[in-house]
A and B are shown apart, each in its own frame.
Chain A
Amino acid sequence: MIERLKEILREHWDGEVAAITLDCVLTSDLGMDSMQLYDLVCAIEDTLDIEIPDRMLPKFVTVGDVVDYLEVAA
């Protein structure tokens, strides 16, 4: 799943994707603010055709959190 997430990031995020690991913190390591996180979640929803409830967003602290969620939801 992390590879799929990386593919999405490659299209929707300007940073260096290859170095991303599960432990990366979305805010401090990837430099995302809440609006960029919104954009990422929208991109994930569109690509994987799923709906991610708003209340999940605060729980997405690391890349691993997103991957764990997608393993179950996607």
Chain B
Amino acid sequence: MGRRKEALPIRLRAEDIPQLETLREMVRFVAGRYEGETAFVIPRKGGAEDEISFRAFSDDIDALGTALFAQGLRGSRIALLGGNSYEWIVSYFAAAGGGCTVVPLDKDLQAGDLVPLIENSGCRALIYAPDYADMLPEFRGGTAIGNYICMSEMAALLAEGRRLLLEGNTDYTGCALSPEQPAVIVYTSGTTGKAKGVMLSHRNIASNAASACRMVSGAGRVVLALPCHHTFGLLVGVIVPLMYCGRTYISRSVRNVQKDMVKLRATVAILVPAIVEVVYKKMWEAAERKGSAAKMRRGLKLSRALMKLGIDVRRKLFKEVHEALGGELYLMVCGGAPLNEQITKDFYAMGIDLLNGYGITECAPVVSVNPQRPNKIGSVGLPLDCCRVRVDMPDEDGIGEVQVLGSNVMMGYYGDEAATKAAFTQDGWFKTGDLGYLDRDGYLYVTGRIKHLIILNNGKNVSPEELEEKIKLLPGVLEAAVYAQDGQIAAEVYTDTDEASVRGAIHEMNRGLPKFKQIALVKFRDTEFPKTTTMKIKKHSIGGAAS
């Protein structure tokens, strides 16, 4: 099952990352530089795998783009629907690389939820994975899509495109492409309600990818488990590894992530906090089962003490943990939600850097990320060099709205001038709607969402995210959401233990909090909270929605 140990492919040094301006330039650059190196590993049924080189990837893009143009789709908006697959990735680059605008649809939404998005974006074509074919009747009745292209027909399309290219057709390969053209319209899944179509240009994406590469020099073998329709998954899980000559393993599902990490002997994993928490929890459960949890706890203490003396034996001390993660994992990059600090500290003590970053779809999406050295635990790192970050109207603690200006900031919301106008300040900075502060070294700390902020009758402000993180650390608490109810702070908890002990633990926690932050009401739920596809709790669907 394990892959034999092999040297990591050559990669670019961070300072050599060129400032490319379009997705097409990026693909041509990596194909020219890395040629026959493996870019993608694709699991197939029965345990087989296909490998695709950088050159073959670039050729497939040109062939598919040529075939799409031959179908009259030049300049169209094209929706993409499906789980992660090589066909999805090639379709994305082929469409955007020829000046079409890609609309990546959330694979977990129902057909009825997708129809208004397709309609709003004005898509003329849909490229879909075969397991979504049952949605087509609803699309045919409710949208203006004229071309339906199933990913299972990809081989035929590629063959047709290659034939046209051999005949000298340059409609696609020679078409003009401006960095200012929209490359994608991404509908935000959002935790707060109505979806908006975020328009990102080629420059937005290309500059963000190059800057992210300059900040985190991790590459090697990467498991792609986050959904590609999400900007974070695509940029950090596909585009950044491409730039670095990474070898990307296209995992069929996030549920296979750990198994795939072992298969690939992954060196880097791109995850969201919820998945990191599961990996961490399983690691401790395995240790408890084997009776080695106490030894592991002692190991953590020893490792921390030795690291203070400059002695690094972490990978030896935690050999079993490393083997369970493939044996060569040295870096996990995380974004999308707050990350539990203790987990970050423990992984570091075990020899794995866990870097948290901050992003928002409107910023293509990465705004900041922790460098490997120094990784300031608790912060979301330093702003990328493609943008500047400021904190607007800071309070006495330096906390205010995080605002961003730079080449990664979106063109606007598609067809929604009012929302676009409302998203920017008069001097052109993007208002993220997130609260945070910058420390004296320029590291960003995000403390919560403005929309979620609880403003009490006495004028005090409470960030629910701060309290949620504290509650989630209590024994037996699996998930928690905090909101205001009748002027008081309420917590809703999903637990796998008895309610009385959780209630008691929350009362105990309250004793360490200022009065205005204390949880007054505790509610329990039988099932976990509804979540977005990046596993964030949908705030608008819980008890606090109306408060």
Contact = CB atoms under 8 A, between A and B. Distances in A.
A33 B476 CA distance: 13
Given A31-B496, A35-B278, A42-B259, A51 B528 contact: no
Interface string B477-504: 0100000000000000010100000000
B107 A27 contact: no
Nearest to A49: B46
Given A35-B278, A55-B108, A55-B131, A28 B526 contact: yes
Interface string B86-107: 0000000000000000000001
A54 interface: yes
Interface residues of B, number: 21
B257 to A, nearest CB: 10
A63 interface: no
A23 interface: no
Interface of A is mostly: helix
Interface string A24-42: 0001100101110011011
Contacts of B259: 42
Contact of A28 (B108, B254, B255, B527): B527
Interface string B246-268: 00000011111001000000000
B45 A42 contact: no
Given A41-B255, A42-B256, A27 B526 contact: yes
A37 B208 CA distance: 36
Contacts of A31: 496
Given A27-B526, A33-B478, A35-B278, A55 B496 contact: no
Given A54-B83, A54-B108, A55-B132, A42 B255 contact: yes
A53 B527 contact: no
Nearest to A35: B278
Nearest to B134: A55
A33 B444 CA distance: 33
Contact of A33 (B45, B83, B254, B528): B528
Nearest to B131: A53
Contacts of B108: 54-55, 58
A21 B278 CA distance: 28
B526 A51 contact: no
A33 B256 CA distance: 16
Contacts of B132: 55
A53 B526 CA distance: 26
Contacts of A39: 255
Given A33-B478, A39-B255, A55 B107 contact: yes
Nearest to A25: B527
A55 B533 CA distance: 12
A3 B522 CA distance: 41
A55 B255 CA distance: 12
A42 B45 CA distance: 14
A28 B132 CA distance: 29
A26 to B, nearest CB: 10
Nearest to B253: A54
Nearest to B46: A49
Candidate in B131, B253, B278, B494 with the most chain A CB atoms within 10 angstroms: B253
Candidate in B46, B83, B131, B496 with the most chain A CB atoms within 10 angstroms: B131
Contacts of A33: 478, 494, 496, 528
A29 to B, nearest CB: 11
Contacts of B528: 27, 33-34
Contacts of A41: 255
A53 B83 contact: yes
A49 B47 CA distance: 10
Contacts of B527: 27-28
Instruction: List 7 A-B pairs, minimum CB-CB distance, nearest first.
Output: A38-B255, A53-B131, A27-B527, A54-B253, A33-B528, A35-B278, A28-B526
Interface of A: 27-28, 31, 33-35, 38-39, 41-42, 49, 51, 53-55, 58
13 contacts: A27-B527, A27-B528, A33-B494, A33-B496, A35-B278, A38-B253, A38-B254, A39-B255, A41-B255, A42-B255, A42-B259, A54-B107, A58-B108
Given A28-B526, A42-B259, A55-B107, 7 more contacts: A27-B526, A33-B478, A39-B255, A49-B46, A54-B253, A54-B255, A55-B108
